Amino acid sequence: MTVKQEQADRLSFLGISHIGESHIKKGSQNQDAIAFNLFGDSFFIAVSDGLGSCKRSHIGAQTAVSLCNEIFLKVMDNHLDFLPNVIVDEILALWLKSFSEAELKEYSATLKAVFLKDGTIIAVSIGDGFLFIQTNGKIHTLEGKGGDFVNETECLSYALKESDVKTLKLSKGNELSILLCTDGISSSITDGMEQAFFEEISAIDDIKDLQDQLIAMLSEISKVNTDDKTIGIVKNA
């Protein structure tokens, strides 16, 4: 299990990723990825889940979160307008440039990402997993739905269209709580209980206590769910 925790500008950041038992037995790599970056009072955080049916999907997941960092840096350098449609267009353009067209499908991956600059939040969702944001006293969500078959979901791939991407644009209030997770976690939450799970996590003030509880939860889930599991958290410090 890998854990990354950082604190800056009155915000705490936490990322936890746990390789699934099925991949351990196969000698495969963790097909999930997580990344975040901070610059003053601005940041991005992203999680990605490589599709298990695609042989290079672990690279696809790593690429997905890396290109979010590239976009964040362009936004901070004022080389890219901070608008939802611009962010989405850049994600798709960078993704298509990352791999040869003939092999693009083998790198398929989902993506959940949140960017913050100058008090404005832009969230992006491609595929399954879920994303919650609480600010200004309201909870907002971008939930992704999988298909009827294993590994069937919208994803960064050769056939993705801009219309397949969900976005949110919000103004940040004094309080902020963000949760992003891949399907290995979201599929383990009882349907209809996703927001309750988010609210329970948001109510834990101490980030170390939250980290310990999430590690214990992932270990428990792993007894019955053999998929990779990744979660990203941002909350007031």
Residue 99 has which token pair? 């791999």
Q: What is the pLDDT along the chain (237 residues), one digit of tens a residue?
A: 899 999 887 899 999 999 877 667 766 788 899 999 999 899 999 999 988 667 788 999 999 999 999 999 999 999 999 999 999 999 999 999 998 887 888 898 999 999 999 999 999 999 989 999 999 999 999 865 543 333 446 888 877 778 889 999 999 999 999 999 998 898 888 888 999 999 999 999 999 999 999 999 998 888 888 788 999 999 997
> What is the end-to-end Cα distance of the chain in Å, rounded?
24
Q: From the CA atom positions of the chain, what is the Rg in Å?
A: 17
Superfamily classification of domain 2-236: PPM-type phosphatase domain (3.60.40.10)
How far is 48 from 226, CA to CA, in rounded Å?
A: 17
Domain limits, the chain? 2-236
CA 214 to chain centre: 16
pTM of the prediction? 0.93
- Dihedral over Cα of 96, 98, 100, 106: its sign: negative
CB-based contacts of 72: which residues, under 8 Å, 6+ apart?
37, 39, 42, 43, 44, 115
